[in-house]
Each structure stands twice: as structure tokens, then as C-alpha cells.
A and B are shown apart, each in its own frame.
Chain A
Amino acid sequence: MFDINPGLSIWTTVVFVLLVLVLGKFAWKPLLKSLQDREQKIRDSLDQAERARAEAAELLKQNERNMAKAEEEYQKIVREARALGEKMREEIVAKAHQQAQHELQAAKEEIQRDIEAAKQQLREEVADLAVKAAGKILDETLDPARHRRIIEKAVDQLKHN
């Protein structure tokens, strides 16, 4: 059982060495290469996925930032518009008020003027009528021109009162 048969050992050695060489070249090297390629591919894919995830997270953050900025801007615009509207309203009201005052003033003045004119006219008419009436009553004793002066003086006194 413990005898060494050199022929068998030589067979074993030769077959084993040939097997190592042949399998190394035709089986294991390509196989290990394929395995390595696949592992590299998986590693790359994982890296890529990780990168894509980070990118997506970055985009999301950026989006959120943009949204916040947009919201802020919108708020600002609304605020400004409101302020502007308020201001314009006040201006319009003030202007309208002024206009109204102005027109009221104008109307008052016109009325005053009319009143003055009417008073003047009334005064003249009253003088005329008085002259005419006095003339008729006193006949023609008085010179109309003299008469008129007297009356005008009286009217002036009246005006001053």
C-alpha cells in the first residue's frame, strides 16, 4: 500500500501539469476575466446609481430653493401691488376731493358773481323805476340828470349800508 510506483507518479505529474497549463489558458483565465469584468460592471453601476441619486437629491434641493425664492418673490409682488393700489386709491380720492373742492369753489364764485350781477341789475332797475315813478309823480319839475344824481347818491348810501 505504501509502495511508490514511479510510473504512476510520472503520469500524475504530467497530467496535472498539462491540466494546469491547458485549463489556465482556456478555462480559468477567460472565466476569471469575465468574472472581473462583471464585478467591475456591477461596481460601476452602483457608483453610477449613487452619483445619480446624489444628483437627484441636489436637484430636489435646488428645486426647493427655487420654489422658496419664487414664493418670496410672489409675496413681495403682491405686497408691492397692494401698497401701490393703496397709494393710487388715496391719490385718486385726494384728487377727486380736490377737484370737488375746486368745482365747488368755482360754483360758489359764479353764484356770487351772479348774485352781484343780479344785485347790480336790480339796483339799476330800482333806480330807473324810482326815477320814472318820481318823474311821473312830480311831473317834470326836476331835471332828469339832476334827479338821477340824487338818486344814485341815495343808492350808494344804500349800498354802503
Chain B
Amino acid sequence: MIDSLTPPDSLQTFLADTSAVAAQHGEEFDFNHLLEHLYDSRTLEFPGGHWDIPAFPPVQIGGLSIDLSITKHVFFLLLAAVLLTVGAVTASRKIRKNPVPTGFANLVEVFVVFIRDEIVLTTMGPAGLKYTPFILTTFLYILIMNLLGLVPFGASATGNISVTAGLALVAFIMIQVAAIRAQGLSHYLAHFTGGVAWWLWPIMIPIEILGIFTKAFALCMRLFANMSGGHIVILALLGFIFLAKSIYFAPIPVVFVVAINLLEVLVAFIQAYVFAMLTALFMGLGIPQGEGEHGH
């Protein structure tokens, strides 16, 4: 396993890797060189070269030293944030000015209406409508990050477990906030006892606490695994070319790679949807639905 924070000079970009592999013609092919493409690095690739981002000195918080320098994945998650902000604000302004949506505003509106009617209303009910902006941001932000991984020279930040952990942390907090706001703090805490006799509490409370963390952990792992999985398959298929050491073999893996890449477009949408859907669902579990129905 390669440390994602190894210094830039020891890291090779994917292009550099392939040329290195070609240069080492005859030597054993090392798949790890290809996999490095998935890892975070301090190197940004662009057509015609690469740029090593300067590193910040690590920040000391208590006894922990945290490296906050801009890496490739930080760059792409910032890029996704900028794209989303510009797109969303533009669409919002256009829709406010012209009540009949056209073009780009129409595209954004499709997502907005879908999230509001199909995700928020069905999982949280009318009481959850105030969380629509959060679910919308979650869905579109993850979608854009996913799609950026399919652009040449791009990288999907969502294929990094540290990024999905950050996203899941926010989702986890929002799930608890939604439950506390809907039920009140005492009712929320009472929920941890599971409504069983007091002498079962020592068993019940740890299980319930584990339960709320499991949900967020599953969100984190699911997104990370799905987004890196497709890339690994593509890299493995490309690796066959180097194993075969023949240019005449190349078209076969390339056909498969194109197919997997198209599948990845689908997966990018599905995983963004699943993350947003499950977050809304977990939030909805904490919001009492209507009057007289189940209470938690």
C-alpha cells in the first residue's frame, strides 16, 4: 500500500508510470504503478505536463499534526464546489427572472424537482422540506465530483476514503440534527434505550449508538468503494495491454474500457443518488411522520 502523502518527487503520475513501464520493457509489470493513478498526490496533470502543488507545513493541533496542504483531490473537490456554486446560482437567478425555465436552468430544475418530490417528500414527508437544500447540495456535489473523475486528466475525489469520510461526517451530523429538531433532545436520548426494560439498557444503548455510526460508515464506504471500483477495473483492463506486451492485443481491452467508462457515467449518477437518498432516509427515520403514526 502506497502512502497517499508520500513526497511529490517519489510519486509518479499515471502517464509517467506508463512511460516508465514502457522504458522498463522486459521487466516484470507492476500493477501498483497503475493504481497510483487513484491515489491522492501533490501533482496536477494537464495536457502537456504536470504541476507540483507546493505543500503547506502541517498544522499542529494539540499533539496532532494535520497536513492541510492542497492535494490533487482537494483541488478537484474545490473545483467541484466552484462549478456547483456557479451553476446553481446561475440557474437560480435565471429561474427567478424568467418563470418559464429554458436550457441550463431547466436541467437544474429537473434535478431540484426530482430531489424535492422523489427523495425528500417520499422519505421525510412535508416536515422534511426544509432539508431539501441540504439533500440537493449533497446530491449535486457528489455527482459533480464523481463526473470529474471521468474527465480526462480529472480525478474523482469521491474515490478517496478521506473525502467520503468527510461527506459522511456531515451527513451523520445532519441525521442527528434532524432527529433532535423533530423529537426534542430528551426524546432523542430516550430513543437510545430502545424502549426496553431498564436492566437491558447496558446492552441496548451500545447497540443503538453503534447503529447510528454504522449508517454513516456505510455511506462512507459505499461511495468510496463504488467510485474507486470502476477505476480499478479500467486500470486492470489497461494492465492487460502491458502484460500481453503487444499493440495488436490493445483494441480488446480498449473496447471493454470504453464500455466500463460508459457504465461509470451511470454509476456516478446512481451513487450520488444513493448517498442523497440514504441520507434523506436516515434523516426521515428521525422525523415523526404525520399524526398518530409510528413515533420514531
Interface residues of A (CB under 8 A from B): 1-13, 15-20, 22-24, 26-32, 34-35, 37-38, 41
Compute how far the CA of A38 lies from the CA of B99 in the bound complex, rounded to whole angstroms: 7
B152-178 interface bits toward A, Cβ cutoff 8 Å, 1 = contact, 0 = none: 000001001111011101100000000
Please tell me the number of chain B residues within 8 Å of chain A, measured between CB atoms: 53
Within residues 50 to 90 of chain B, which ones have a CB less than 8 A from any CB in chain A?
58, 64, 66-69, 71, 73-74, 77-78, 81, 84-85, 88-89
B interface secondary structure, majority: helix
B100-136 CB contact bits vs A (8 Å, 1 = yes)?
0000000011001100100000000000000011101
- Among B14-34, those with CB < 8 Å from A are none
Whether A3 pairs with B66 at a CB distance below 8 angstroms is no
CB-based contact A23/B88 at 8 Å: yes
CA of A153 to CA of B1 in the docked complex: distance in angstroms? 183
Does B228 belong to the interface (CB within 8 Å)?
yes
Asked if B264 CB lies within 8 Å of chain A CBs, one says: no
> Is B92 among interface residues, defined by CB-CB distance under 8 A?
yes
A16, closest chain B residue (CB): B170
Q: Is there an interface contact between B4 and A9, defined as CB atoms closer than 8 Å?
A: no
Residues of B contacting A5 in the complex (Cβ-Cβ under 8 angstroms)? 4-5, 40, 67, 71, 160, 162
Pairwise interchain contact A19-B81, C-beta atoms closer than 8 A: yes
Give the distance in Å from the alpha carbon of A7 to the alpha carbon of B66 in the complex: 6
User: A107 to B137, alpha carbons, bound, how many Å?
Assistant: 121
Across the interface, do B137 and A29 meet the contact criterion of CB distance under 8 Å? Answer: no
CA distance A111 to B2 in the complex (A): 157
**Further contacts, 7 of them, CB under 8 A, given A12-B157, A12-B167, A23-B133:** A1-B228, A2-B1, A5-B71, A8-B40, A8-B160, A20-B137, A27-B88
A148 to B108, CA, bound (A): 148
Query: Are A4 and B88 interface neighbours, CB within 8 A?
Result: no
B3 at the interface (CB under 8 A from A): yes
5 contacts between A and B (CB under 8 A): A1-B228, A4-B165, A8-B162, A24-B137, A28-B92
A7-B66, A8-B160 known; A31-B77 Cβ under 8 A: no
The 8 tightest CB contacts between A and B, nearest first, are A12-B166, A27-B88, A28-B133, A8-B162, A24-B133, A31-B92, A13-B166, A9-B166
A28 and chain B: residue at smallest CB distance: B133
Contact yes or no, B66 A20, CB < 8 A: no
Is A27 touching B68 in the complex (CB atoms < 8 A)? Answer: no
Considering residues B81, B160, B166, which has the most beta carbons from chain A within 10 angstroms of its beta carbon?
B166
